[in-house]
């Protein structure tokens, strides 16, 4: 067999879970980023369509290795959708069942996708906070506690969540930029991304600046800038922003934080599609808006990285739909 034939054979032998990670990094050219170079890590290229594939594989593998689950176990999780899609992908490949509790503000595309994969989905209220019986995390934990042969994944407190980013995402970014990375812009959901990256770069480049992009209404920005926070508001961007501080959160390298409105996020995501041809999800609009603000404030050249957290295919009936934008007050023309 020729070398080319061997290469093709090796590609054909890969399984879908082997395709998680090693996502491309692209430099933006259609936006004013001042003195900085701004790069997007295309996490939408993971097989489940989001960065959450990484943590799903890490958390399920860790639970299997620790004997917490075995073939046929029921996995229960609270999710905005993308962690659920990642868990569905890995659970299907590993022979597990999956039940997800999802707030009712999440996109129809995510729900349809999950149900098509055979996942049981329970919808709950998105207008209640932690401590309320219908709050999605509390409900998922309660269901797991009441169900035999089940395991509560708990991405918000699971150490295998940040471990995924410490061992894969961080090293990939460092390698792709030959170590010449000065700042990384993250959103905060479970906080696994920023915590894992912080742990990796504390060892490899401790002078790196972590930057937070937070939806207006979330409590994260207030906490990292003042050390306290009040009651959370509401926002329509999916997957990032919180009404509490996740137990696994490590903000020790955070040097800046920006509050970004839904309007800014949706408008920026649509600009990204028109200017760069990248169809990204709503949280990417939040991250990119904050990243550009950060870049324009710099007085020295820097290499800045942020993420296409998931594919915009999950939001076609929302922020990419003019009618939805008009109905929700985000588009007037």
Residues annotated as part of the active site: 52
For 77, the enclosing helix (H) or strand (E) is strand 74-78
Beta partners for residue 306, in sequence order: 40
Contact 98, 74 (CB under 8 A): yes
Cα–Cα separations (whole angstroms), residue 162 to 117, 124, 218, 250, 279: 26, 26, 21, 10, 26
Contact 168, 54 (CB under 8 A): yes
Q: Is 33 exposed, middle or buried (0-12, 13-18, 19+ CB in 10 A)?
A: buried
Cα–Cα separations (whole angstroms), residue 75 to 91, 107, 214, 238: 8, 22, 29, 22
Number of Cβ within a 10 Å radius of residue 82: 29
Q: Are strands 209-215 and 183-187 parallel, antiparallel or unpaired?
A: parallel
What gap in Å lies between CA 310 and CA 289, rounded to an integer?
16
What gap in Å lies between CA 169 and CA 185, rounded to an integer?
13
Q: Which tokens go with 310?
A: 């998931």
Q: Is 118 exposed, middle or buried (0-12, 13-18, 19+ CB in 10 A)?
A: exposed
* Sign, CA torsion 33/38/314/97: negative
∠ Cα 319 322 326 (to 5°):
90
What gap in Å lies between CA 235 and CA 260, rounded to an integer?
10
């Amino acid at each position: 067999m020729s070398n080319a034939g061997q290469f093709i054979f090796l590609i054909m032998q890969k399984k879908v879970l082997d395709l998680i990670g090693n996502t491309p990094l692209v430099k933006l050219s259609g936006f004013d980023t001042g003195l900085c170079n701004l790069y997007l890590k295309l996490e939408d290229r993971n097989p489940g369509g989001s960065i959450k594939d990484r943590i799903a594989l890490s958390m399920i593998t860790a639970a299997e290795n620790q004997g917490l689950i075995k073939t046929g176990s029921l996995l229960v999780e609270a999710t905005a959708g993308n962690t659920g899609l990642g868990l569905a992908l890995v659970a299907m490949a590993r022979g597990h069942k999956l039940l997800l509790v999802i707030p009712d503000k999440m996109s129809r595309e995510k729900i349809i996708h999950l149900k098509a994969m055979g996942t049981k989905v329970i919808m709950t209220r998105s207008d209640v906070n932690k401590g309320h019986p219908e709050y999605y995390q509390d409900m998922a934990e309660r269901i797991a506690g009441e169900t035999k042969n089940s395991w509560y994944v708990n991405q918000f407190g699971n150490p295998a969540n940040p471990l995924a980013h410490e061992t894969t995402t961080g090293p990939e970014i460092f390698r792709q930029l030959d170590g010449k990375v000065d700042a990384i812009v993250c959103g905060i959901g479970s906080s696994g991304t920023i915590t894992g990256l912080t742990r990796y770069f504390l060892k490899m480049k401790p002078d790196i600046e972590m930057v937070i992009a937070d939806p207006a209404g979330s409590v994260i920005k207030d906490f990292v800038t003042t050390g306290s926070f009040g009651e959370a508001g509401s926002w329509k961007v999916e997957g990032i922003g919180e009404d509490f501080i996740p137990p696994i959160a490590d903000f020790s390298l955070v040097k800046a934080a920006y509050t970004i409105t839904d309007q800014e996020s949706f408008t920026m995501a649509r600009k990204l599609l028109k200017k760069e041809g990248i169809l990204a999800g709503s949280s990417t609009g939040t991250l990119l808006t904050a990243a550009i603000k950060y870049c324009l404030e710099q007085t020295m050249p820097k290499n800045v990285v942020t993420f296409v957290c998931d594919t915009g295919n999950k939001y076609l009936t929302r922020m990419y739909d003019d009618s939805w934008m008009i109905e929700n007050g985000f588009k007037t023309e």
